[in-house]
Amino acid sequence: MVNLTNYFDAVGIANDSFSSFTNDGFINSSVLGLPDANLGIVLQHEIDSQSYAMFAASSEATGYGDNPFKFHGNDSFLLVGEYGRMLADGATTIRLNPFYRYVDNMDGTSSNNVGLAGSIEHEVCDSLTVYSRAGWAAKQDVGNGFDFTCGANVKLIPSREDDFLGLAFGVFKGASPVDNDREYVAEAMYSLQLNDYFKLVPHIQYIANPAYDPDNSDVVIMGVQGVFSF
C-alpha cells in the first residue's frame, strides 16, 4: 500500500494535517485527489543535485480502512508524475504534477480525466515561508476542476523557533451545476510547542459557498488539536 500524499505535492509548510493547516484543500491539491490507502508503486529519480522526477500508479478501488485486496469490481486508478526543482540555493522549490485518472462508475460506464497541478514554496527568511498552489483538470465530473491556494508560516517570537502562525486562503471549483460553483476558504492556525513531546494547534476557518453552493450559509469552524510526538 502507498500513501501518495507522502510523496507528491509535499509542500513543506502545508503537507501535515496534524501540525499545520486543517482544511484538506491546503494540505494537498484538491484537483490531484491523491489516494492514501491503496495498492500502488512510486518510482523516483534524482536528475541532479537541484532537480528530481517521480512517477506513481495507484489503484483507487478502496477507501481508507478497507481491505486493499478486495476491489469489488472497481477498476479506478490514478497515474501521476512530479518534476521538482530547487532554486536560490534551496530556498525556493517548484513542483509540477501532470496526472491521468480513470474512474469506474460501477454502473457500466467509466470516466477519465487529465490535468496539471503545480506549487511554489519560498523561504523568504528564517521567520517567513510562503507558498502557492494551483491545479486544473479537463473534466469537472471527476473531482475538482480548479483550485488555487496560497499561504504563509510566520515565526512571531524569535526565541520560540518551533512555534509559528499559519495563514491560508483558497478558491476551489467543483462539479456543482449552480451558477456560482466556487468555494472560498480562509484559515488561520497557530502551532504552540509546549514541550518536546506535546503541542497545541488551535485553528479557525471561514468557508463561503460550502459544497460549492451559494444557497448554503457561510460556515465558521473553530477547533484545537493536541499533537503528541514520541
C-alpha cell at 44: 523516483
4-228 is a CATH 2.40.160.100 domain:
yes
For residues 133 and 9, is the Cβ–Cβ distance under 8 A? yes
Q: Is the pLDDT of residue 89 over 90?
A: no
Q: For 7-45, how does the pLDDT look when each residue is reduced to its tens digit (9 = 90+)?
A: 999 998 888 777 789 998 999 999 998 988 788 999 999
Distance CA 103, CA 109 (A): 9
Q: Is the pLDDT of residue 193 over 70?
A: yes
Annotated domain spans of the chain: 4-228
The DSSP line for 105-171 is -SSS-EEEEEEEEEEEEEEEETTEEEEEEEEEES-TTSS-SEEEEEEEEE---TT-TT-EEEEEEEE
